[in-house]
Amino acid sequence: MACSMVSNMVCGMVHGAGTAAATGMLLDVCDLHTVYPSARGDVRAVRGVSLAVAPREVLGVVGESGCGKSALMLSIMRLLPRPGRIVRGAVRLRGVDLLGLSSGEMRDVRGREIAMVFQDPMTTLNPAYRVGDQISESLQVHRMTPSGASISPPRNACVRSRLWQARRAREEERDYVIELMRRVGIPSPDHRHLEYPHQFSGGMQQRIMIAIALACKPRLLLADEPTTALDVTIQAQVLDLMEDINREMGTAIVIVTHDLALAGDFCDNIAVMYAGQVVEWGPAEAIMEDPLHPYTRGLLLSMPRLGSRQPLRAIPGEVPDLTSVSSGCAFAPRCQQRTDRCEAEEPPLQIASGRMLRCHAVQAEAHNRARFRGCVAR
């Protein structure tokens, strides 16, 4: 499948028909493959994923645990733990292929252009450093002032002048950190920026992670299950905060979650992943109201609903072993609509009923409906 087709369709979904050619994608992931070598063989965590994110868009990536969502985010950031590696594909940020950058060039991109909120703040925040120092660290790494300008003191400045500039820069950083903590909803930031991570609750730690990610005002924010292990009221506060960031700062967001209802409420578009692949991708409203892929339907039917006394319908079976995925559709062993073709031939990601879809049965059904409408029109 041509990746330009993916980008053009996303432009149409986000900006409306007829604007695909005129609107550039902020992030364009093309045929990405990521593996983790193991004693049993290569774990194919990401298998040919193609995605695109427009400026100011909120994209939700959903699926069961083990479907490759976090591996996809780490691949985009080039932060895969060893021995994981990207074996094929492209990740373009504003037209620049991140996979072709050197390690130093990629460090310049992280934090400044693209940032990530990790899943567990307790294991991400350094317990030995004050939270204010951790928030300001990215400014120091990128040698940026809070206004966004690069720091470049004149070489011929005297020692006194350099010391004065350094003192002034530290004061600006402190004021910026306090304002950033206030913006993400941390009370009493004038004092709390001097505290350590263990002195904050789980929800406040997640807000600190968001503040760290926003310090250099990136264009794209990747959030890997930012509401995991938080109670419902704190989840709502974190999501409201991210919605404000998207609206006020214009930051595009890719949020990873296993909660399809959350993605439906929060996101513009949803990409459903299964066994390292995107199986359905389209506008959030359309996917929530009329899911086409059998896996997406199964996820919706397994969701509890307030006031409903109907028993939950679990999806039978389990996610396949990614070291030995069959040659056909990965979901076929669990699918009630499977055919012989599903078990023998892997379905491509194609346009069907206004969204991207990877399913032989639904694609054939959409093709038959189109032929029927053509016959009626004649």
Short-list 69, 46, 64, 66, CA closest to 254 = 69
pLDDT of residue 18: 40
Specify the pTM.
0.85
Structure tokens at 218: 């990136």
Residue 192 lies in a domain: yes
Residue 120 lies in a domain: no
Residue 64 lies in a domain: no
pLDDT of residue 10: 54
Cα–Cα distance, 287 to 280 (Å, whole number): 8
Choose from 234-243, 262-271, 321-330, 334-343 the range with maximum mean pLDDT: 262-271
With residues binned 3-state (H G I as helix, E B as strand, rest as coil), the percentages for the chain, rounded to 5, are: 40, 20, 40
Instruction: Report the amino acid identity of residue 29.
Output: V
pLDDT of residue 198: 94
Residue 184 lies in a domain: yes
pLDDT of residue 128: 95
pLDDT of residue 228: 78
Residue 92 lies in a domain: no
Residue 323 lies in a domain: no
What mean pLDDT is predicted for residues 310-326?
Answer: 85
pLDDT of residue 77: 95
> Which pLDDT band, with edges at 50, 70 and 90, does 209 fall under?
very high
Supply the mean pLDDT for the chain: 84
pLDDT of residue 374: 46
Domain membership of residue 166 as a residue range = 127-151+159-217
What is the phi-psi region of residue 103: left when phi exceeds 0, alpha when psi lies from -120 to 50, beta otherwise? alpha
pLDDT tens digit sequence for 135-193: 998 888 877 666 554 555 555 557 666 676 667 778 888 899 999 999 888 999 999 99
Cβ–Cβ under 8 Å, residues 10 and 52? yes
pLDDT tens digit sequence for 72-89: 999 999 999 999 999 999
Q: What are the φ and ψ backbone dihedral angles of 270, each rounded to 5 degrees? A: -130, 135
Q: Is 279 helix (H, G, I), strand (E, B) or coil?
A: strand
pLDDT of residue 11: 53
Cβ–Cβ under 8 Å, residues 209 and 124? yes
Short-list 207, 44, 57, 214, CA closest to 146 = 214
Which residue shows structure tokens 């299964």? 274
Q: Is 247 helix (H, G, I), strand (E, B) or coil?
A: helix
pLDDT tens digit sequence for 255-277: 999 888 889 999 999 999 999 99
Cα–Cα distance, 274 to 330 (Å, whole number): 8
> Which pLDDT band, with edges at 50, 70 and 90, does 238 fall under?
confident
Cα–Cα distance, 179 to 31 (Å, whole number): 40
Q: How many domains does the chain have?
A: 1
Cα–Cα distance, 189 to 108 (Å, whole number): 28
